Amino acid sequence: HVVMHDLLLTKVPLPDRKFNGAQQFAYTGVILMGAGSLLTGLAIYKPTQLAWLTFLFGGYEMARYIHFSLTVGYVMFIFIHLTQVAKAGWNNFRAMVTGLEIVQVKETEQHANN
């Protein structure tokens, strides 16, 4: 549902939650990718001392291939993440970085409060 909305294939508003399904999937994936990068990095760094780990990844060359693939995954995540931030707007980005969100009050709301 979220992907369809982001690709502008549906105009149904998304539910108001802290993290939507696509974000939960992406952030969980990045954490798992980090664990994979750590393990493949160790298998590449010390293939003789950690021969059992290198073996689990299918050998040195396969560990290098998996490690590189995970790096490509990080680049894709960053690209998509920056695209989503640009789509959300400068105010949303500023709120994420500084913790300050500028909210504009409509005139009708200002008159109702006075």
Q: What is the pLDDT of residues 31-47, one digit of tens each?
A: 999 999 999 999 999 99
pTM above 0.85, yes or no: no
In the DSSP assignment, the letter for residue 101 is -
Instruction: Provide the token pair at 56.
Output: 């689990």
In the DSSP assignment, the letter for residue 104 is P
Cβ contacts of 61 within 8 Å, gap of 6 or more: none
pLDDT band, residue 83 (cuts 50/70/90) = confident
Instruction: Say if residue 15's pLDDT is above 90.
Output: no
Residue 28 corresponds to which amino acid? T
CB neighbour burial string for 59-70, b if at least 16 within 10 angstroms, e if fewer: eeeebeebbeeb
Q: What is the pLDDT of residues 47-68, one digit of tens each?
A: 999 999 999 999 999 999 999 9
Length of the chain: 114
